[in-house]
Amino acid sequence: MKAFVVDKYKKKGALRLTNVPEPELQDDDVLVGIHATAVNLLDSKLRDGEFKLILPYRPPFVLGHDVAGTVVRTGPGVRRFKVGDEVYARPRDHRVGTFAEFIAINEADVALKPKNLSMTEAASIPLVGLTAWQALVEVGKVKPGQKVFIQAGSGGVGTFAIQLAKHLGATVATTTSAKNAELVKSLGADVVIDYKTQDFEKVLSGYDLVLNSQDPKTLDKSLGVLKPGGQLISISGPPDPAFAKEAGLNLFLKLIMRLLSRGVRKKAKRLGVRYSFLFMRAQGQQLSEITSLIESGVIRPVVDKVFPFEKTGDALAYVETGRAKGKVVVAVQ
């Protein structure tokens, strides 16, 4: 099958289109013929080697974390899916590789595709949808009447998280550029801050939760907009000891995570707020709940551009500019 591989860890390194063996099915796997995939900053960070301490892949490996497609074969232990099912997923770590024609995925990571979405729309959902769900529902436990600040509202995670937070009954603030203000308002943002002309830390206060996806400087400022007892959940780091423990990292890496996050944890404690790092994980059941929200019209996908499969490298470069509104998708077949 055709696939885009990373030959070696290298910043902005080129992906190589080549033929690789079709994936082997384990007992609980479904083999999915990929119709569409989506590109995430996580893909470029993996290629650059930023995560090789906690997510070591041995080059050459296939990138890609989002998939929408059709089940073409099932392992003997599969009970939930059959050949011909239209599905979508974020495959689990160490088994990613959706920049390809086929992928084998554990059935626990898979959900039926929303009936009201095309394959390209569905491919835009899994990674950002699960990230927002795990941050706002699972960890943040957002309740009606709470105030939630979601950074970078016009990005992939932001466009989904705004809609989900609004559905959960929160008042939602976000940052974006003036040209994307109408987009984030249409998704449900109540307070829109133009990050080019306004300082969010001077505008916002008394927030229950912040979803941080930006740099350390923004993270530091974000702690100050929380009310006592509030929570900052960061998807951009630094990793904390709780994450290191959950990920089963060795003692050396646990020490590194402790040191990396010491500053932000100390400041959070001083302010009487909580800090946690979230590295989203594959979860088919949560994706099924997201399917229900999409089919009932609560959440809609936001797709900026669709690239043809042979232009996957260009799609990754476009995502790296930081200018995409919502998600960037690749049509595989």
What is the model's pLDDT at position 53?
87
Produce one character per residue of 208-239: b if its CB has 16 or more CB atoms within 10 Å, e if not: bbbbbbbeeebbebbbbbbeeebbbbbbbbbb
Taking phi over 0 as left and psi of -120 to 50 as alpha, with beta for the rest, 204 belongs to beta
Q: Domain ranges for the chain, please list them.
A: 2-124+301-331, 128-277
Mean pLDDT of 231-260: 95
Is the torsion defined by CA of 156, 160, 163, 169 positive or negative? negative
User: Is residue 245 pLDDT above 90, yes or no?
Assistant: yes
Distance CA 332, CA 137 (A): 32
Helix (H) or strand (E) holding 69: strand 67-74
Question: Residue 82 burial by CB count (10 A; 0-12/13-18/19+): exposed, middle or buried?
Answer: exposed
What are the tokens at 159? 């466009």
What is the model's pLDDT at position 310?
98
What is the model's pLDDT at position 235?
97
Mean pLDDT of the chain: 97
Distance CA 231, CA 140 (A): 7
2-124+301-331 against 128-277: fold identical: no
What is the model's pLDDT at position 156?
97
Mean pLDDT of 240-264: 95
Q: What percent of the chain has a predicted confidence (pLDDT) above 90?
A: 99
What is the model's pLDDT at position 243?
95
Distance CA 13, CA 26 (A): 31
Which of 203, 135, 137, 194 has the alpha carbon at shortest distance from 169?
137
Superfamily covering domain 2-124+301-331: Medium-chain alcohol dehydrogenases, catalytic domain (3.90.180.10)
CATH number for 128-277 (one of 3.30.420.10, 3.30.930.10, 3.40.50.720, 3.30.70.2610): it is 3.40.50.720
* Helical ranges in 60-139 per DSSP H: 119-123, 126-133
Q: Measure the N-to-C terminal CA separation of the chain; round to a whole number of Å.
A: 12
pTM (2 d.p.): 0.98
Q: What percent of the chain has a predicted confidence (pLDDT) above 70?
A: 100
Mean pLDDT of 109-123: 98
Classified as helix, coil or strand, 295 is: helix
Give residues with Cβ within 8 angstroms of 90, minimum separation 6: 65, 66, 67, 109, 126, 127, 130, 280, 282, 287
